[in-house]
Amino acid sequence: MRTRHRLFTGLGAAALITAGLVITPIAAHADNLLTNPGFETGSLTGWTCAGGTGSVVSTPVRSGTKALAGAASASNNARCAQTVAVKPSTAYTLSAWVRGNYVHLGVTGGAVKWANSASGYTQLSITFTTTASQTSAEVYLHGWYGQGTYNADDIALDGPGGGGGNDTQAPTTPGNPRVTSVTANSVSLAWDASTDNVGVSGYEVVRTGQVTSATGTSATVTGLSPSTQYSFTVRAKDAAGNTSPSSVAVTATTGKDDGNPGPRFIQAAPYLYLGWGNPPAAADVMRATGVKWFTMAFILAQNGCNPTWDSQRPLKGGVDENNVKAIRAAGGDIVPSIGGWSGNKLGPNCATAELLAGAYQKVIDAYGLKAIDVDIENTDEFESAAVQDRILTALKIVKANNPGLRTILTFPTLNTGPNSWGNRLIEQAKALNANIDNFTIMPFNFGGAADMYAATVNSTEGLKNKLKSTFGWTDAEAYAHVGISGMNNSSDAGEVTSPQTWTRIRDWSNANHIGRLSFWAVNRDRPNWEFTAITAGFTG
């Protein structure tokens, strides 16, 4: 850390008059409060630069071996900033050595100075006094639009640190950092909260020197490039400026820039059931078909409101977890199917929505899930108004607690669309503001439909129209929230869906850009995984 001697020229004796009160500024000590003030770390640690415009260079420097370069353009002034804890009613001096055209140094909400045209390093300096209630200050540098790259070095904010008095204890390291969603230009993350002897004041998400500040346990890093891998760590800060160790790193690859204005939830995920039918090795199926997602069945209740596989196998340490790991090692992922037609289900066994949300959270935490599917069927769940509402409220709770989590409801249908219970489920999803990502119908067991393509399309159109009328969506918005979960070959009612018919259903689904395609089940798709390969061609 560079320390700079501080001179007072009458300001220390001046009185600040605010709202009739006379407040004498406290004399500041000669301490530089900024993190990485000379960029000698070789990174932008401590600084946040707009849109990735900042970088660390080895020439030209004012002292040491590194300096800041801010690439101002016609549309971005390359603003780089840092927020520090300060004391109220206290005088501070901010200074920096800069070079370039129209380089600005300032305090947000306060004074600013600039150098018009500095071919060599020139020092800018600002003295300011915090307000009676101010505990933080944001200092910044930026260039000017269209004026090219500027440089800055040896930046100092001299004065006493704020917040914690003699607090020197740093917060604990943020736990379980995870990626919750990705677009072509952003990555959203979440993590478990840190603790501190006084209190955590915020967090910083760091990627290759760029810092994004957050007040809670989630953040979205923007300004990223499409189809690019990034690495992120998270650290916590307290009011005294103590910083925790960095978390373990997590990586994410941004999506392709396909011109889509926002992220869509698209999933091709046939059922894989480990409790029946000589289940295949998922990695072998993935290699043979190209499928990436599986809907793993079934999460049921054991001893009340405790989630387990088939009411008997634990979430962790068994065959199910081993399969999840194998699927992910092969480049895929899973969505658990919670519920189903039969068995001891969580919906009726968890007495409140909060308890049910807690059960769902156990499943989410066990596997770090990106999505969950509640398969709501039969009289104990689907045909129970109380359980429908409990499930919807629980899904709303876990979605709020897990930024980026996608939620799916799977339920029966008529060949014309949802029945009265399905209509109620959709209407209550709107009324309770459950924010469900996908409504997946099961278009089979109609009682002997001769043309399964026509019956499937007809029932899906009925679902789309119900979503339109309930939520006020356009056709495109409604289709994007629609899912189809079929049954390969013969249904329980003897209705036959051939590979040719399933291909037509998939092609119709792609043409209308629905959100999800699944079928029951990979276990029944032998010997060549033909339906699975067809499903893998679903692109939304």
- At 263 the pLDDT is 61
- At 354 the pLDDT is 96
Residue 199 located in a structural domain: yes
Question: 316 and 188 share a domain?
Answer: no
- At 209 the pLDDT is 56
In this structure, the dihedral spanned by the alpha carbons of residues 256, 258, 259 and 263, taken in order and rounded to 10 degrees, is -60
- The total of structural domains in the chain comes to 3
DSSP letters spanning 108-156: TTS-EEEEEEEEEEEEEEEEEE--TT--EEEEEEE--TTS-EEEEEEEE
Q: Are 85 and 162 in contact (CB under 8 A)?
A: yes
Report pTM: 0.55
Residue 262 located in a structural domain: no
Q: How far is CA 239 from the centre of its chain?
A: 26
- The residues near 197 (Cβ < 8 Å, ≥ 6 apart) are 167, 169
Question: 32 and 65 share a domain?
Answer: yes
Residue 260 located in a structural domain: no
Q: What does the pLDDT look like over 194-236, one tens digit per residue?
A: 998 877 878 889 886 577 878 778 888 877 777 788 899 999 9
Give the pairing type, strands 371-376 and 333-340. parallel
Placement of tokens 């799977």 in the chain: 410
Residue 529 located in a structural domain: yes
CATH number, domain containing residue 179 = 2.60.40.10
Question: 249 and 271 share a domain?
Answer: no
Question: 317 and 413 share a domain?
Answer: yes
Per the structure, the complete domain to which residue 210 belongs is given by 175-253
CATH number, domain containing residue 84 = 2.60.120.260
- At 358 the pLDDT is 96
- Distance CA(205)–CA(335), nearest Å, equals 28
- Distance CA(251)–CA(339), nearest Å, equals 32
Question: 280 and 426 share a domain?
Answer: yes
Dihedral sign, Cα of residue 272, residue 277, residue 281, residue 287: negative
DSSP letters spanning 265-277: --EE--EEETTSS
Task: Name the domain boundary from 108, 128, 158.
Answer: 158
| Lookup: tokens for 482 | 């629609």
- The two most distant CA atoms of the chain are separated, in Å, by 94
Q: What does the pLDDT look like over 110-120, one tens digit per residue?
A: 888 989 888 89
- At 12 the pLDDT is 34
- Distance CA(381)–CA(390), nearest Å, equals 10
Residue 5 located in a structural domain: no
Q: Is 377 in the active site?
A: yes
| Lookup: tokens for 189 | 């993350």
Could you count the other beta carbons within 10 Å of the beta carbon of residue 107? 17
- Distance CA(356)–CA(394), nearest Å, equals 6
DSSP letters spanning 325-376: HHHHHTT-EEEEEEEESSS--HHHHSSSHHHHHHHHHHHHHHHT-SEEEEEE
DSSP helix/strand/coil, 217: coil
- At 11 the pLDDT is 31
Question: 213 and 117 share a domain?
Answer: no
Residue 52 located in a structural domain: yes
Residues of the chain with pLDDT under 70: 1-31, 163-166, 208-209, 257-263
- The residues near 151 (Cβ < 8 Å, ≥ 6 apart) are 57, 60, 67, 68, 69, 70, 98, 99, 100, 121
Question: 346 and 464 share a domain?
Answer: yes
- Distance CA(174)–CA(246), nearest Å, equals 8
- Distance CA(195)–CA(160), nearest Å, equals 24
Question: 237 and 367 share a domain?
Answer: no
Task: Name the domain boundary from 158, 189, 213.
Answer: 158
Question: 117 and 184 share a domain?
Answer: no
Out of 377, 427, 461, 530, the active site residue is 377
Placement of tokens 């800018």 in the chain: 124
Strand partners, 220: 188
- At 163 the pLDDT is 59
Q: Are 268 and 193 in contact (CB under 8 A)?
A: no
Question: 337 and 217 share a domain?
Answer: no
Residue 501 located in a structural domain: yes
Task: Name the domain boundary from 132, 158, 184.
Answer: 158
Residue 168 located in a structural domain: no
CATH number, domain containing residue 372 = 3.20.20.80
Where does residue 448 rank: exposed (0-12), middle (13-18), buried (19+ CB within 10 A)? exposed
Question: 249 and 275 share a domain?
Answer: no
Question: 97 and 136 share a domain?
Answer: yes
